[in-house]
Structure 1
Amino acid sequence: MSSCEGCSDGSCSINQQGNPQDEQFQMRQRLDKRMCGVKNKIVVMSGKGGVGKSTTAVNLALALVKQGKKVGLLDIDIHGPSIPKMLGLEGQHPNADEAGIYPLEAFGLKLMSIGFLLASTSEATIMRGPMKHGAIQQLLADVVWGDLDYLLLDCPPGTGDEPLSAVQLLGAGSAAVVVTTPQDVALTDVEKSISFCRELKLPVVGLVENMSGFICPHCGERSDIFKSGGAKVLAEKTSISLLAQVPFEPLVVIGGDAGKPHILEYPESATSVTLQQVASAVIAASDKE
């Protein structure tokens, strides 16, 4: 029995009679049917670029897989998709048939990115707001996600078209993980992301402080090159949980460029252990709902 059968939710388009000629209604029905099979949707976002949001999204998704969960990862960064390279899938393209577009798979993850739909890695994606909304809607509605425990969305920085479209389209069972770095210039913008979530009534699982101390690969000594403790102050100010302070390790960068996620290559590292703690916190928050 599918997750839609027996559902009496009158607000769901699947339980409504619409005009067969209404393309938007038909798209909404496809979207709702796809999302029926996804228990939890996690938007990974940040008001600031360069904080390691995509790295967090990839390794958090894999941490959830390592804890036995069925996970999908959708890259909705229309102009700068990173997921194909970070998972070693650059240049690959998805298959499709009348059922929809089939996500690529790697390391136990189901994956989709607009980067998989481009002719080359150097091709620019030129879109305005309404076109971005339509593209994200199509990636959610037309991709054959199947049954998932978690679908993570890797957003571009800021509080603009892409995260707004994601929140509006995902519906029930959605929440956010907000990523920052410790310095004030990042925290000021990241606080806007928290405000964005509250304005849209999107629950925030918590805050991840990335690049929280540099661990020297030679001597193991920690240095706070981006300051420290800023996310703790922001968490207290906004009354949300600080999920973790993830250290900065050069091997994380090397693995991302090589398509070898750090959490799989170095599962015992400080970064990997900390990200497993974030995954556990995400699961605990989901179980409370």
Structure 2
Amino acid sequence: MPQWLEVIIRTLISVVVLFGLTRLLGKRQISQLSFFEYITGITLGSITAYVSIDIDTDWYLGLISMGVWVLVSLGIEILQMKSKKARNLIDSKGTVLIKDGKILEDNLKKERLTNEDLLEQLRKKSIFKAAEVEFAVMEPDGEINALLKNEYQPLTPSHLGIKVSPEPEPQAVILDGEIMDEPLSTLKLNRQWLNTELEKIGVSLDNVYLAQVDGYGQLFVDLYDDLVQVPEPQVKASLLAQIKKCEADLEMFALSTQDPTVKAMYGTCSTKLQQVIDEVKPILSQ
């Protein structure tokens, strides 16, 4: 067999085996590498190159070595799941860098970080003043997470005592100009509804790169032609306006009638509807 053909075959086999072993190790290998997983990744890459190019040795020896490394890595992951001591030994523990608003210089030196490194990592979290940080920790994977002081945290509905209903998951109903029927069915919608909504905003299907529908039935589209401006959906605003109009009509009916019973009925309905408006306004105003 020609050497060039053998290298091609070895490389293809190595790629397939490496892909399978990587899938076996799981997504954690990609997102959050421990020290040992980092070593495993480098070693598997080196062995794969060896299997692909070194035609003077038996290729199956490299595959055996790859298999051993993967089995050892899986064994360590299982041990970490069952033992906290093993997790601390292999992955180490998080290191507190800022506590009670004070930078811990000794811990920075322990992790071989400079104050400039710390500020850079905080900027990546959109934090530009160290004085605004209450607590910061360096995770075992090297990422720095920070908690802002109360006065610098973003204002949320919970701070105002407002209960907000869960946001339903948006569904992609058009991808690359193709209608996705399954997401439409999940939202209990159909193609006729979608085509009607596209007509309302004056957009043709073949010009839609991506379209999503949120849990409230609002359609958001992104077009291939970036110069075309698409109007924002007004479903929520329209619904809120209709509810307010109903409340105003009830209040007007209560003022216009002379019958005490009818006046009380309209007044009670108006008050209850106003309470509903106060509850749904944070949602419909988004």
TM-score by length of 2: 0.19
TM-score by length of 1: 0.19
Bigger radius of gyration, 1 or 2?
2
Where relative contact order (Cα < 8 A, 6+ residues apart) is larger, the structure is 1
| Larger helix percent | 2
